[in-house]
Amino acid sequence: MSDFNKQAGSLTEKAGISSPEITNISAINQIKFKRRQQPSSQELISGILSGNRTALSRAITLVESTNPEHAEKADEIINACLPYANKSIRIGITGVPGVGKSTFIEAFGTHLTQLNKKVAVLAVDPSSSISHGSILGDKTRMEELVKDENAFIRPSASGENLGGVARKTRESIILCEAAGFDTIIIETVGVGQSETAVHSMVDFFLLLKISGAGDELQGIKRGIMEMADAIVINKADGDNIKKAHQAKVDFNRALHLFPPKKSNWQPKVTTCSAVTREGILDIWNTILDYFEMTRETGFFQEKRNEQNNFWMMETINEQLKQNFYNQPDIISLLEQSKKAVQNDEISPFAAAQNLLEFYFKGTK
């Protein structure tokens, strides 16, 4: 007998010893069957309104789906949940990669749940332009918050959407509010065009910064600085405290160069450490001051109304675009037009005009 066979023989089970029966085949089949079953719209609606997180997660999955059948079911759920929505405060949080967004959100969210707040975090992860996949690692970076009974974390892939904001985040907010969450936090993938979209769906926009990044005076972009209702210098701990306080002074000076906001709110600059939780309470108090002021002046509701109109127009634009590109005749004509443009047989503008004229004739 070879050494290999001797080794293999020594690793085999002895005759007469069998594995104990630790699984129930019937139970396994029942679980598999239930997983294949799709709950009805009414079951999901009832589940959401009773605060069932599984129902909420499944409804958000329907909202994010590109399947037309799912879209119809999602619309039914959203319309049913709408009367129970709009009872939360919505906070957008952005900052460059590495600024500590997830750590900050965990510290901030935990502080809120300790105040008996119900917190929903909608975190948008960047998708790969090659594989279109997404790590969706926010839950692993928020180990404490994800186990909190008063918190719900939903990472979503950004897909091909504007700068990384998931296409259906706005609808997901409605579902979370209907499920009883009174504080909605939206984390963006980083600094870019996505901030404009997030700003149009939140009440308060918070910009996270770190000292020593070389942009204390310039900011990331003037536009983002102007959108911010508060700037927080994170990682103000250890040897970095002095630099963080200097960055706070620099940003305060820069903010006074910007025109006043429509809300008449003067953006605040503060420091914090998401690791030690130092400064988190001050940030929450700043947000409460903002809401108190904007509700008194009526700006809070005015902004919500403007946002609803904005998203109505965005939805129209999205549907028109999808309808245009999904027309079989347009698909064929578009390929011909691309080749003609590449061969300089027609200008890109004339080709686009021809395609649009063809499309509008077909819709009459």
Give yes or no for a contact between 249 and 226, defined as CB atoms under 8 angstroms apart.
no
pLDDT of residue 322: 83
Give yes or no for a contact between 200 and 85, defined as CB atoms under 8 angstroms apart.
no
Q: What are 25-65's pLDDT values in tens digits?
A: 777 777 666 666 788 999 999 999 999 999 999 999 998 88
How many CA atoms lie less than 13 Å away from 31 in the CB half-sphere? 6
Across the chain, where does the E strand assignment appear? 89-94, 119-125, 151-157, 183-187, 204-210, 230-234, 268-271
Q: How many C-beta neighbours within 10 Å does residue 212 have?
A: 12
The percentage of residues in the chain with a pLDDT greater than 90, rounded to a whole number, is 47
Q: What are 299-317's pLDDT values in tens digits?
A: 999 999 999 998 888 888 8
Q: What are 155-206's pLDDT values in tens digits?
A: 876 555 543 355 688 899 999 999 999 999 998 866 555 677 788 899 999 9
Tell me what the mean pLDDT of segment 6-27 comes to.
Answer: 58
pLDDT of residue 50: 95
Q: What are 225-253's pLDDT values in tens digits?
A: 888 999 999 999 888 899 999 889 988 88
pLDDT of residue 132: 45
- Placement of tokens 């396994």 in the chain: 28
Q: How many C-beta neighbours within 10 Å does residue 72 have?
A: 11
Rounded to whole angstroms, the Cα distance separating 198 from 94 reads 9
What is the model's pTM?
0.80
What average pLDDT is seen over the chain?
A: 83
**Alpha-carbon distance values, 10 to 6, 13, 130 (Å):** 6, 8, 48
Lowest pLDDT segment from 37-51, 63-77, 329-343: 63-77
- Check residues 208 and 127 and name the one with the higher pLDDT: 208
287 burial type by CB count under 10 A (0-12 exposed, 13-18 middle, 19+ buried): buried
Give yes or no for a contact between 140 and 43, defined as CB atoms under 8 angstroms apart.
no
